[in-house]
Amino acid sequence: SFVLEVIILFLSSCCRLWGDHGQEALESAHVCVITATATGTEVLKNLVLPGIGSFTIVDGNQVTGEDVGNSFFLQRSNIGQNRAQCTTELLQELNNDVFGNFVEENPDKLLDNDPSFFCRFNVVIATQLPESTLLRLADVLWNYNIPLLICRTYGLIGYMRIVIKEHPVVESHPDNALDDLRLDSPFPELREHVQSYDLENMEKKEHSHIPWIVIVSQYLEKWCNENNGQIPKNYKEKEAFREMIRQGILKNENGILEDEENFEEAIKNVNTAVIATKVPNCIEEIFSDDRCINLSQQTPPFWILARAVKEFVGKEGQGNLPVRGTIPDMIADSSKFIKLQNIYRDKAKKDADAVANYAAKLLQSVGKAPESISQKELKLLCSNSAFLRVVRCRSLSEEYGLNTSNKDEITSHMDNPDSEMVLYLMLRAVDRFFKHNGRYPGVYNYQVEDDIGKLKSCLNSFLQEYGLPVTVKDDYVHEFCRYGAAEPHTIAAFLGGAAAQEVVKIVTRQFVIFNNTYIYNGMSQTSATFKL
């Protein structure tokens, strides 16, 4: 069927993005979605299709006519039925491998009676909840150390907030990462291999099949010998170095340069391959993090491994991270390419083995079994050791605390009165309106005019209470009243896609999550992230 084909296409493209191990992590994850609103169902749809392990919907409401209007899943015949159950059944039909559950309960009741209910989940996704419920939920999850993703569609505005204490990422998949070739400081095996090539005395065919890494490496050694051991650094030196390589291209009997593509490739790669190998600053920061220094039995594997890499860098690594072990494709005959590839691979394995020794000692020192970290996990971390990231988001109560709210972030962005930050302030104002009136502004047409004044005073008292010296244009107050807290399907669908992506990042521990607030403006189709 068409749906099935789409799902299969979607699945195969997902695996390319996050790999088999990422897919495994996704398939063993259990997420909770609080309230089966249009936003909640859109998030879930985008998790059910790529094959999340299981989901539980918490919702005590019945399907209303408005739900049928917003949510493409629900039909008129569902009106009056339990919303959690209806939505679970409909979502389940999208993918039989996913296990769907529902709990017919109001989230506030669950928080009153059974807060530990939430402990079983890898992520909790809260959609369209009032502020008071959200603050309670966020507190409970923070204490249990369960990641929370808050999603909200409010008129033409999308809002997301990630609340997670600490989120280490091994596979951050950076864009445009440079290869780890160590040409400035070749390890002995690489140096020996490069020197085994006698460039001056080679047949024409052989000469044009030398991998460019070997060419650059040989000429670099020559360059360094002539330049006090310094690699070419600025444009002028690099240009001179490229010319040096160009001189090595073979000439025919008439003195015309031969067509040697491998040399052209060598010249082209000088800029990105001839660089100083060093530990990136953000990795140095991880090495000096308290969690990396002070290990205990409770320390997660990520930090034990980071510490093991740190020890490696200080000793065998002579100041460098473990070799990544991969090289780019290049012009070369296959036997030469494979030999070179194996040099890097073998070195990466040797370095990983050395890291494994440190990890074993560290595990022993905190009283944990050596098997508590798998070889696979260790290798993955070693080959990604230049890309490790740790994201720490502030708690919701810090964000909402009068003394702890991030005033600088708010005021600095409000230098631009149309920054997406103004939408955040308006959301805080409508929440205050809700607290005072038990409903959102503009939900009844006949009250819109009245509500504009009330919302404005909510906004002003909020700004005053938090000591925020900013002005908000009246247009925004009017706009938010016009929204009448509606949840249009288009905005919910957009937000659902974006939210599911963050859930996948959290669950697979791949790619970097945002820190910590994301706002989408559906009027201008712009978005921004803020540290609140």
List residues near ligand NAG by CB under 6 A.
290, 294, 296, 391-392, 394, 402-403, 515-516, 531
Instruction: Supply the minimum distance, in Å, between the C-beta of residue 294 and ligand NAG.
Output: 4
Instruction: Supply the minimum distance, in Å, between the C-beta of residue 170 and ligand NAG.
Output: 15
Instruction: Supply the minimum distance, in Å, between the C-beta of residue 19 and ligand NAG.
Output: 23
Instruction: Supply the minimum distance, in Å, between the C-beta of residue 303 and ligand NAG.
Output: 11
320, HSE (Cβ side, Cα atoms, 13 Å): 21
Q: Which amino acid is at 25?
A: A
Burial (CB < 10 A; 0-12, 13-18, 19+), residue 332, is: buried
Neighbours of 255 (CB within 10 A): 6
Instruction: Supply the minimum distance, in Å, between the C-beta of residue 393 and ligand NAG.
Output: 6
Q: Which is nearer to ligand NAG, 175 or 290 (CB)?
A: 290
Instruction: Supply the minimum distance, in Å, between the C-beta of residue 290 and ligand NAG.
Output: 6
Cα-based angle 326, 332, 338 (whole degrees, multiple of 5) = 45
- 212-to-199, 209, 276, 302, 328 alpha-carbon distances in Å: 12, 9, 18, 36, 10
Give the tokens for residue 314: 């200080």
Q: Which is nearer to ligand NAG, 392 or 436 (CB)?
A: 392
Give the tokens for residue 184: 């400035």
Q: Which is nearer to ligand NAG, 297 or 525 (CB)?
A: 297
Q: Which is nearer to ligand NAG, 436 or 531 (CB)?
A: 531
Q: Which is nearer to ligand NAG, 272 or 294 (CB)?
A: 294
Question: β-strands 30-34, 123-127: how paired?
Answer: parallel
What SS3 class is residue 66? helix
Give the tokens for residue 307: 């510490």
Give the tokens for residue 386: 């230049």
Cβ atoms of 386 and 280 within 8 Å: the answer is: yes
Q: Which is nearer to ligand NAG, 262 or 516 (CB)?
A: 516
Instruction: Supply the minimum distance, in Å, between the C-beta of residue 392 and ligand NAG.
Output: 4
Give the tokens for residue 435: 């607290």
Instruction: Supply the minimum distance, in Å, between the C-beta of residue 478 and ligand NAG.
Output: 31
Instruction: Supply the minimum distance, in Å, between the C-beta of residue 310 and ligand NAG.
Output: 17
Query: Which H helix or E strand runs over 207?
Result: helix 204-207
Q: Which is nearer to ligand NAG, 234 or 403 (CB)?
A: 403
Instruction: Supply the minimum distance, in Å, between the C-beta of residue 132 and ligand NAG.
Output: 17
Q: Which residues pair with 519 in a beta bridge?
A: 159, 528
d(CA 41, CA 90): 10
Q: Which of 51, 52, 59, 57 is nearest to 30 (CA)?
A: 52
d(CA 220, CA 212): 12
d(CA 481, CA 477): 6
DSSP for 234-270, written as a single string: SHHHHHHHHHHHHTTS-B-TTSPBP--HHHHHHHHHH
Cα-based angle 127, 129, 134 (whole degrees, multiple of 5) = 105
Instruction: Supply the minimum distance, in Å, between the C-beta of residue 405 and ligand NAG.
Output: 11
Q: Which is nearer to ligand NAG, 269 or 385 (CB)?
A: 385
Cα-based angle 136, 138, 142 (whole degrees, multiple of 5) = 120
Q: Which is nearer to ligand NAG, 152 or 394 (CB)?
A: 394
Q: Which is nearer to ligand NAG, 13 or 145 (CB)?
A: 145
Give the tokens for residue 384: 């990604």
Q: Which is nearer to ligand NAG, 184 or 289 (CB)?
A: 289
Instruction: Supply the minimum distance, in Å, between the C-beta of residue 403 and ligand NAG.
Output: 4
Q: Which is nearer to ligand NAG, 44 or 169 (CB)?
A: 169
